[in-house]
């Protein structure tokens, strides 16, 4: 198991639109950065502990109030050529609802991205 967590740029898919990125198979990893597919960081155990703890805390707080918490595979459009897959996304009660499937264009009320230490600072 490698502890390499730096993110490297790839051009394996060339320039992609948000719609093309959203249509990639579920097992195709990556986020869209300036039209390019970027490899995702490989989370370690501590990262996953933090994400699951926060998800439980948000779900517990939202219980009986409405709203919901989404996981890390939802694809969000954040700019014309940028798409992200945050660790958690939270929609509060009374707000809009994202689509059940496909690219999400409605911003969540809360986005969580757990940053793990890494050997090099990579601009994404």
Give the DSSP per-residue string, the chain: --------B--TT-S--HHHHHHS-TT---EEETTEEEPPP---HHHHHHHHHHHHHHHHHHTTT--EEE-TT--EEEETTEEE--SEEEE-TTS----SSS-B-S--SEEE-PPPP-SS----
Domain locations in the chain as residue ranges: 18-112
Out of 3.40.50.1820, 3.40.50.170, 3.90.1150.10, 3.90.1570.10, which CATH number does the structure's domain 18-112 have?
3.90.1570.10
62 has a pLDDT exceeding 90:
yes
**Residues 42-52: tens digit of each pLDDT:** 889 999 999 99
Mean pLDDT (the chain, rounded):
86
Sorting pLDDT into bands at 50, 70 and 90, what band is 92?
very high
Please report the pLDDT score of residue 11 as a whole number: 43
Q: What is the mean pLDDT of residues 13-30?
A: 89
């Amino acid at each position: 198991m490698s502890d390499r967590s730096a993110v490297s740029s790839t051009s394996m898919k060339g320039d992609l639109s948000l719609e093309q990125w959203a249509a990639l198979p579920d097992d195709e990893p990556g986020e869209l950065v300036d039209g390019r597919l970027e490899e995702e960081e490989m989370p370690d155990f501590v990262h996953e502990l933090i994400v699951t703890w926060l998800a439980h805390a948000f779900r517990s707080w939202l219980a009986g109030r409405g709203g919901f918490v989404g996981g890390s595979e939802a694809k969000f459009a954040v700019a014309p050529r940028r798409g992200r897959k945050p660790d958690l996304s939270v929609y509060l009660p009374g707000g809009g609802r994202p689509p059940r499937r496909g690219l999400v264009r409605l911003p969540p009320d809360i986005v969580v991205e757990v940053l793990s230490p890494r050997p090099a600072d990579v601009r994404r």
